[in-house]
A and B are shown apart, each in its own frame.
Chain A
Amino acid sequence: MIKYVDEYRDGEVARHIAKRIATDVRPERTYRFMEFCGGHTHAIFRYGLSDLLPPAIRLIHGPGCPVCVLPIGRVDGAIALSKQAIVATYADMMRVPGSNAMSLFRARAEGADVRMVYSATDALQIARENPEKEVVFFAIGFETTTPPTALAIRQAKIENLSNFSVYCNHVLTPPALRGILDSGAELDGVIGPSHVSAVIGIGPYDFVSEKYGKPIVISGFEPLDVMQSILMLVEQVNSGRAEVENEYSRAVEGNGNARAQMLMEEVFELRDAFEWRGLGWMERSARKISAGYSEYDAEIRFGLITSSASDHKACECGEILRGIKSPKDCKVFGKACTPENPLGSCMVSSEGACAAYYSYGRYK
């Protein structure tokens, strides 16, 4: 049984916090807070959190959805790999459209061997069971899913599993946050990453307050965490503070998880630059497999060259990921673009702003 979950979904407590937020907000202003993570976006919609907030609080959905920020070129890369190897990946990645409306799902229907896995270790198991075939793990995600991928690569080396490799698309949170703040998004504060912070700690967010003068509160993914973080942000804004605060202290320690960080250091190194959907090319914003493990790098093994491909013309995922537009502003939202037939990546993952809005919030 999972304990300590219901406590963070208690409607009574929520109403109590909501009342405090409503009392604290100044009538003359609005509070524009960006929840960075898709996990927050999902919680906000799934629990109907905005119904409890006063109209002065405006929530802007951030880019912290790994599926959403991966550019089309990298999806095309995975589809190309599926012609030469078994490709194992997380379920949502299978539905993301690449160029020419191709997806890993479609590639599978056309004969490719694409498998849905729950973790990098599942992919490793597929490699053990198919020694005569190449197996590529299509790895995506922020710092939360990076250490498990590192573990799988290290394990492959220990076992000398030569048919296993990783198509690494792991990205970093702080550069994305910097990208958002540089893009001119009008924000009064940030609801900061939850699980990511458990890995990297709190220090990496100092620039948000020091350089950009914005408050940030590290927040858990439960709806009460988000409510409490909003209250903390309102209080910071009202008192003119811009600090890094930690609401999620039950899981996040100041320095993060040292072992996970060392593991990432060992197996990965930073790329000079990486393309993000919506945010463009950003320096030192993603990881690749380090020289010591390069034999497990699928890009090297298969000589894969990733090229930039443009998004669907009508798709507004870019602007939505930067917090400039809301899903409702997109002309194809809910019409040509639905979870069944997504044109853009934000409509795929349940953490994507468009999918969350479509699945949970359309009645408004």
Chain B
Amino acid sequence: MKKRMAVRPLDIGKGRIEMPHGSGGRATAQLVEELFLKAFDNEWLRQLNDQASFHVQGGKMVVATDGHVVSPIFFPGGDIGCLSIHGTINDVAMSGARPLYLSASFILEEGFPLIELEKIARSMAESARLAGVAIITGDTKVVEKGKADGVFITTTGIGMVPEGVRISGDRARPGDRILVSGTMGDHGIAVLSKRENLTFETAILSDTAPLHELVAEMVACAPDIHCLRDPTRGGLATTLNEIAHQSGVGMKINERSIPVKGEVASACELLGIDPLYVANEGKLVAICGEKDADSLLSVMRDHPLARDAAVIGEVVEDEHCFVQMETAFGGMRVVDWLTGEPLPRIC
């Protein structure tokens, strides 16, 4: 480690973000070294360059980026820190790729307590460590009080796709089966339960989790998985509509086979929202050929993050690209895109 630049260390306990922390000067360097580097420490970051360099093998590389503005910053089952790691890892993983490196960009509001920032950085570090990826470069900006809401984090991730894997949202074909990896709506309801104007009692925790290891096992079992996507904002309904439009197909799903926790269903009932539109942060939708469905389902159910996996329907021909659902009541209805913004800043 190089010689300390600052004489007096950051007062993590009582200190707050001040404008100079984003000036690029000594205060910025001190914040990076004493807070971020301390949490994320790795060989690339330690060089303190404006970029990180590393060697890559040949093959197909993927890159994904994801901004995080969740409110509140700390919610049952997680916080903006781990969410910002899982969000990007999952976007990378939905191509079938193994995520390798991450970058992180922070927009901080003047006055934000350092102790909360440290907590967030530790949460990011822990999530990255558990997921086996490194945060190798980053950026910090500070805006005046009132111009942001505490902290916004944008992460970018890169990963390598195994040979022969060709997962894409435009590959759903009539006859394919649609699977989900578990219960729908947990994250959104956990976050909503802590909104200041909406406090309600629930034991629901966010499902935020990195899905790349689950994906690796799924791809090993069925390399010809057609589509993978994590149903985050807009929930399952929106994800299925996206894929239907990308692939130019329709879908028929069965309400009774979609796993939803009892507490989530109750909270949705109270709030007048539909769990199919509520965000998830540790679940995926998989679409595969009929022949792969059974084995894929069984591999998923063997993984701790997909114990409640289920086949929820199939892909059909439909020039209108409608997602239709047989309701538990016995009728049919369209499951449309999410309209408006009923649940803002959920991730």
Chain A residues engaging chain B, CB cutoff 8 angstroms: 1-2, 5, 9-11, 14-15, 45-52, 91, 95, 117-118, 122, 125, 223, 339-340, 355, 358-363
Question: Cβ of B340: which chain A residues have Cβ within 8 Å of it?
Answer: 91, 95, 339-340
CB pair B262 A1 closer than 8 Å: yes
Using known A-B contacts A340-B339, A358-B336, A362-B322, determine if residue A2 contacts B269 with beta carbons closer than 8 Å. yes
Q: Which residue of A lies closest to B250 (CB)?
A: A363
CB pair A14 B334 closer than 8 Å: no
* Contact residue among B266, B328, B332 (Cβ-Cβ distance under 8 Å from A51): B332
Question: Cβ of B322: which chain A residues have Cβ within 8 Å of it?
Answer: 362-363
List 28 A-B pairs, Cβ < 8 Å: A1-B262, A1-B263, A1-B266, A5-B269, A10-B329, A11-B327, A11-B328, A11-B329, A11-B330, A14-B330, A15-B330, A47-B328, A47-B331, A48-B327, A48-B329, A48-B331, A50-B331, A51-B331, A52-B330, A91-B342, A125-B197, A223-B329, A340-B340, A355-B339, A360-B334, A361-B334, A362-B322, A363-B333
Complex CA–CA separation, A1 to B264 (angstroms):
9
Complex CA–CA separation, A45 to B274 (angstroms):
14
Chain B residues engaging chain A, CB cutoff 8 angstroms: 197-198, 262-263, 266, 269-270, 320, 322, 324, 326-334, 336, 339-340, 342
Complex CA–CA separation, A52 to B334 (angstroms):
16
How distant is B277 from chain A, measured CB to nearest CB, in Å?
11
Question: Cβ of B333: which chain A residues have Cβ within 8 Å of it?
Answer: 45-48, 360-361, 363
CB pair A118 B329 closer than 8 Å: no
Using known A-B contacts A47-B329, A359-B339, A360-B333, determine if residue A118 contacts B198 with beta carbons closer than 8 Å. yes
CB pair A14 B329 closer than 8 Å: yes
CB pair B332 A48 closer than 8 Å: yes
Interface on chain A toward B: helix, strand, loop, or mixed SS? helix
Using known A-B contacts A2-B266, A363-B322, determine if residue A9 contacts B336 with beta carbons closer than 8 Å. no
* Contact residue among B197, B263, B330, B336 (Cβ-Cβ distance under 8 Å from A118): B197
How distant is A330 from chain B, measured CB to nearest CB, in Å?
18
Question: Cβ of A358: which chain B residues have Cβ within 8 Å of it?
Answer: 336
CB pair B330 A51 closer than 8 Å: yes
Question: Cβ of A50: which chain B residues have Cβ within 8 Å of it?
Answer: 331
Question: Cβ of A11: which chain B residues have Cβ within 8 Å of it?
Answer: 327-330
Question: Cβ of B269: which chain A residues have Cβ within 8 Å of it?
Answer: 2, 5
Taking A10-B329, A339-B336, A363-B320 as known contacts, 16 extra A-B pairs with beta carbons closer than 8 A to each other, sorted by chain A number, are A2-B270, A9-B329, A11-B329, A11-B330, A14-B329, A47-B333, A51-B330, A95-B340, A118-B197, A122-B197, A223-B329, A359-B336, A362-B320, A362-B336, A363-B324, A363-B333
When A and B form their complex, which 10 residue pairs have the shortest distance between CB atoms, in order from nearest?
Answer: A48-B331, A339-B339, A51-B331, A47-B329, A360-B333, A11-B330, A359-B336, A2-B266, A48-B333, A48-B332
Question: Cβ of B266: which chain A residues have Cβ within 8 Å of it?
Answer: 1-2
Q: Which residue of A lies closest to B195 (CB)?
A: A118
Question: Cβ of B262: which chain A residues have Cβ within 8 Å of it?
Answer: 1
CB pair A9 B328 closer than 8 Å: yes
Question: Cβ of A91: which chain B residues have Cβ within 8 Å of it?
Answer: 340, 342
Question: Cβ of B327: which chain A residues have Cβ within 8 Å of it?
Answer: 11, 46-48
Question: Cβ of A363: which chain B residues have Cβ within 8 Å of it?
Answer: 320, 322, 324, 332-334
Question: Cβ of A46: which chain B residues have Cβ within 8 Å of it?
Answer: 327, 333
Question: Cβ of A360: which chain B residues have Cβ within 8 Å of it?
Answer: 333-334, 336
- Among A10, A46, A360, max chain B CB count under 10 A is at A360
- Among B263, B327, B333, max chain A CB count under 10 A is at B333
Complex CA–CA separation, A323 to B327 (angstroms):
26
* Contact residue among A2, A49, A355 (Cβ-Cβ distance under 8 Å from B331): A49
Question: Cβ of B320: which chain A residues have Cβ within 8 Å of it?
Answer: 362-363
